[in-house]
Copies of this chain bind each other. A is one copy, B any other.
Amino acid sequence: MKHVNLPRADSAHERCLRNHAIGWTIDRMATHALLVTVEDRPGMLFKVTEAVAAGAGDIRYVDLLHWQQETEIFFECELPGAVEPILERLQGVAGVRSAITAPSMSTIYGKRIIIMGGGAQVGQVALGAITEADRHNIRGEHISIDTIPLVGEQPLADAVRAAARLPRVKALVLAGSLMGGEIEIAVREVRAQGLLVVSLNMAGSVPEAADLVVTDPVQAGVMTVMAVADTAKFTVERLKRRIF
């Protein structure tokens, strides 16, 4: 983690250290991604998670996909042993049509940066961030750039708070011309939860609340990716200034 706030403890290593600290047995824990196809009816997520819990699995990520005739439950879990007994257990659950292993979402889409605000600025920040993420992904990183053009104080404040509830999000960029009030409060909340927040240099109180303020939108996108990439030599807390 490259910033000064509470880091999000979602890396396997950090979890490992924490689990040791509280005395859990974590020997030979490995992460597996599973895709379980079930009938689309209430209670299936309960039945599937019950089978995983019965096999001592610890679910770390989950997505529900609703298709016309069935639902897919995709999840990643840490298992104390082999995955086959869990697959067999799942296949025995009433309403489960199939249970197979799948590639992990974290391996494919990796860390996420979310850019939100006015369309003109979001587009320019995205341009910088996508080009820079490309350079790091070629070297083995996995960084996605997600964006939403939004207008209005309350929708933006809601989107800032919700970003902290989306999986794998590491940083937010607020790209606009005027942001303050409730958005500033939301920015301070998600920073306290461990997200890095970058703001364009704009009117309103959001720049004061952000970790980093960058005037050029392309530079803002590039710097945010550098702050998040393990392949980059860029650490926000080592910077001599906060405004560029």
Residue A244 at the chain B interface, CB threshold 8 Å: no
Which of B68, B74, B108, B123 is the one whose CB lies under 8 Å from A131?
B123
- The answer on a CB contact under 8 Å between B165 and A137 is no
Bound together, the chains give a CA A28 to CA B103 distance in angstroms of 39
- The answer on a CB contact under 8 Å between B122 and A134 is yes
Residue A53 at the chain B interface, CB threshold 8 Å: yes
Q: Select the stretch in A88-96, A146-154, A198-206, A235-243 that faces chain B.
A: A146-154
Interface bits A60-97 vs B (CB < 8 Å: 1, else 0): 11111111100010100000000000000000000000
Which of B65, B119, B135, B148 is the one whose CB lies under 8 Å from A144?
B148
Residue A223 at the chain B interface, CB threshold 8 Å: no
Q: Looking at the assembled complex, report how far the CB atom of A58 sits from the nearest CB atom of chain B, in whole angstroms.
A: 4
- The answer on a CB contact under 8 Å between A35 and B130 is no
Copy number in the complex reads 2
Bound together, the chains give a CA A63 to CA B167 distance in angstroms of 7
- The answer on a CB contact under 8 Å between B149 and A134 is yes
Bound together, the chains give a CA A120 to CA B67 distance in angstroms of 33
Residue A105 at the chain B interface, CB threshold 8 Å: yes
User: Do A109 and B58 form a contact, CB below 8 Å, given A123-B127, A133-B119, A148-B144?
Assistant: no
Residue A215 at the chain B interface, CB threshold 8 Å: no
Given A60-B64, A120-B131, A127-B127, 15 extra CB contacts under 8 A: A6-B68, A8-B67, A10-B65, A41-B58, A45-B45, A46-B50, A49-B49, A60-B66, A61-B64, A105-B166, A109-B162, A119-B134, A144-B146, A144-B148, A146-B147
